[in-house]
Structure 1
Amino acid sequence: MSPKDGPKAAKIDRVTIRTVASHAGVSVAAVSKVLRNAYGVSDNLRGKVTGSIQELGYRPSRTARGLRGQTFTIGLLLVEIGNPFLPGVIAGVNGVLAPSNYQAMIGVGEARTQLETSLIETMIDYKMDGLILVAPRLPSEVVAAFATQIPIVALGYHDAFAEAFDTVNTDDQRGAEIAVEALLECGYRDIAMLSQDADEGYKVSVVRQREIGYRRAMQRSGIPGEPEIINITIDSPRREEAMRAFLVSESRPRAIFCWSDIDAVTILSLAAELGIRVPEDLAVVGYDNSPTSALSLINLASIDQSGRHLGETATRTLLSRIEGRTAATHILMEPSLVRRASLGLKR
């Protein structure tokens, strides 16, 4: 290294948030607001600060932030990784964080409460600034206990009475109602719901909420008899075997609402294998409007809950909690139906 390079390198090493503030002609607090992407920062202020950051080559020290109680990282805990709905959620989270200096660190709980608990504790130990929990399996009181240590937003978790943490959800009950109403409009009367085994869900889960909506819509229709919910264990390949048995059963309903596109796509695949025509022999509606459902060979009618929008809203909600909001907020979004060939035509 030449003498000329030495002082330059040393200068870069000494760049701090105070250096940036002085260079931009603003306060340290103003620089901090820009780094946090705080609400109310003007374009002029943001331009000054980001210009100085780029010119000085400033790179915030996450270690120093942790010592001051802020690391500009959030934890994103997913229930599992195989659901095609989740990439949209992740994209929404990253889209909101992109203009700020926050970064998301992802953990996968694999639908196991012990692993979820361990991951949350680790994220707290790493002094992350907040957590977004996607469809956690933990009881509300456990989530609330963690929320006394770190700001938390739960997504896909229907606890509108929680006071210690926030929730962001699609109205899953209404989504199921929309699916049933669409099938009724097409003239179907024998409509069942394919769900998960009762042991795989709990009252605040999206699965149970969709069951409530399905029952309500069927009862409101005036169709005699009890609504039929087919609960199948979540384990694969046993789940596919159970679906196959359902499809070849003499008592198979004329139409089916699936709690998720994951199962709806499998139903379509098995139906094709068994020579069951969709929708002529069996009408199918899924939930999530995943990218797979739109493929021409799939053509699955599905309830859209916009994973990206959910991720964006959950992230903004978390950032406002990190900024100091204390009152709990519970956001419920309206789903919609995307009509495709598996539903059939209105009568």
Structure 2
Amino acid sequence: MAEAKPEKKNDRVTIREVAEDAGVSVAAVSKVLREAYGVSESLRSKVRASMNKLNYRPLASARGMRGQTYTLGLVLPDIRNPFFADILAGVNSALERTQYQLMMGTSHSQGLAEEALVEAMIDRQMDGIIMIGTTEYMDRLGSIAKQKPLVTIGHHAETSQLFDTVNNDDQLGARLVVKHLLANGFRNIAMLSLASTTSTILSERELGYRREMIENGLGENINIIRAPQTLREVQIAARRLLEGPSKPEALFCWTDFIALEVISVATELGLRIPQDLAIVGYDNTMYCDFAQNGLTSVDQSGELLGLQSARLVIERIRGRAEAEHFVVTPRVVARSSSKRSAV
């Protein structure tokens, strides 16, 4: 009777088996995996065909020892904000024809949680990191960038040479909101912002709001309310403002996620939108178009921000040393929440 062959403890296909199937050297397969310069298209196609045939998957730990894992880390402050889904769609589109895979973590806008996530991504040898709406200070971001290629989205650091940034012109976006509301007859305009000490996008939006109000002779109407990014705190802040003695004619909310909640609070209070209160958000997410919302918002091209961040981090991985700071020009998309009907 023939002796039974011992079962393989690990049935994972190896790079050597791929090389044998393709009729090429192990070194040739390795070059294809590394996307090395000078590999012919015919060799690349032959090796890829064998990989698909054998269902070969590179071992991340082994690739890490060779210098790359082809994984990117993405740190999100919150998974509930629909704008971050737009950014994620852009990142994924940019990575479709590459070997890179995306690993995500959520910090809940807490500094210690964000720091722990970044350290874990570095420890797991991810090739680069993208951070959205970071709470880290410049020194800390510089320290991260010295360890891994880094791109930040929603963080203004145009003087940095250590990492890249992807933003929209937040100051201009806020100015455009005030211009739009003034053009529709609203003058008592308040802003609902986030209680944060490190957000540069909020600083820029608040500055844009202030400047446009002052330049239009409305400095005495400036009213910035700041609340933590929890729905309960937003509800409390909105109710206090809308039931108080200095209720504004219009409210500029720093993000759609918050503006949609303000619409709910205003509706519960019996206010008509926009006759009693105009509301404008920021991000122009898909929910703005829903008929029950009709939310005017600033479009900052979330998908484009994601596409550009992925491009920049891969360029950094491949050796680019000069910093690039990509900026999108925002625009106001007007809907029923801020447009008064002609009398």
> Normalising to structure 2: TM-score of the pair?
0.89
SS in 1 for 2:192: strand
- Give the whole-Å Cα distance in 2 for the aligned partners of 1:297 and 1:325: 47
Give the CA deviation at 1:174.
1.1
Can you list the C-alpha shifts for 1:276-328, whole angstroms capped at 9, x where unaligned?
Answer: 11111111110011222211111100011122111111001100000110111
**Partner of 2:151 in structure 1?**
153
Alignment of 1:1-347 (within 5 A): 12-13=13-14, 15=16, 23=24, 27=28, 31-32=32-33, 34=35, 47-197=45-195, 200-202=196-198, 204-225=199-220, 227-345=222-340
Q: For the structure 1 residues 131 and 22, does the alpha-carbon distance in structure 2 shift closer, same or farther, using more than 3 Å as the test? A: farther
> Normalising to structure 1: TM-score of the pair?
0.88
Q: Unpaired segments of 5 or more residues in structure 1?
A: none
Give the CA deviation at 1:87.
1.0
Give the CA deviation at 1:254.
1.0
Give the CA deviation at 1:56.
4.4
Percent identity, please.
39
Give the CA deviation at 1:191.
1.2
Q: For the structure 1 residues 253 and 56, does the alpha-carbon distance in structure 2 shift closer, same or farther, using more than 3 Å as the test? A: same
- Give the whole-Å Cα distance in 1 for the aligned partners of 2:4 and 2:289: 62
Q: For the structure 1 residues 26 and 233, does the alpha-carbon distance in structure 2 shift closer, same or farther, using more than 3 Å as the test? A: closer
Q: Is contact 1:201–1:208 with CA below 8 Å preserved after alignment?
A: no
Aligned-partner residue type, residue 32 of structure 1: L
Give the CA deviation at 1:123.
0.7
- Give the whole-Å Cα distance in 2 for the aligned partners of 1:20 and 1:311: 38
Q: For the structure 1 residues 272 and 206, does the alpha-carbon distance in structure 2 shift closer, same or farther, using more than 3 Å as the test? A: same
- Give the whole-Å Cα distance in 2 for the aligned partners of 1:14 and 1:27: 10
- Give the whole-Å Cα distance in 2 for the aligned partners of 1:236 and 1:242: 10
- Give the whole-Å Cα distance in 2 for the aligned partners of 1:153 and 1:328: 10
Aligned-partner residue type, residue 31 of structure 1: V
Q: For the structure 1 residues 346 and 184, does the alpha-carbon distance in structure 2 shift closer, same or farther, using more than 3 Å as the test? A: farther
- Give the whole-Å Cα distance in 2 for the aligned partners of 1:148 and 1:314: 18
Over aligned residue pairs, what C-alpha RMSD do you find? 3.0
Q: Is contact 1:195–1:229 with CA below 8 Å preserved after alignment?
A: yes
Give the CA deviation at 1:205.
2.4
- Give the whole-Å Cα distance in 2 for the aligned partners of 1:314 and 1:336: 20
Aligned-partner residue type, residue 264 of structure 2: S
Aligned-partner residue type, residue 144 of structure 1: G
- Give the whole-Å Cα distance in 2 for the aligned partners of 1:54 and 1:267: 51
SS in 1 for 2:182: helix
Q: How many residues are treated as equivalent by the alignment?
A: 339
SS in 1 for 2:272: coil
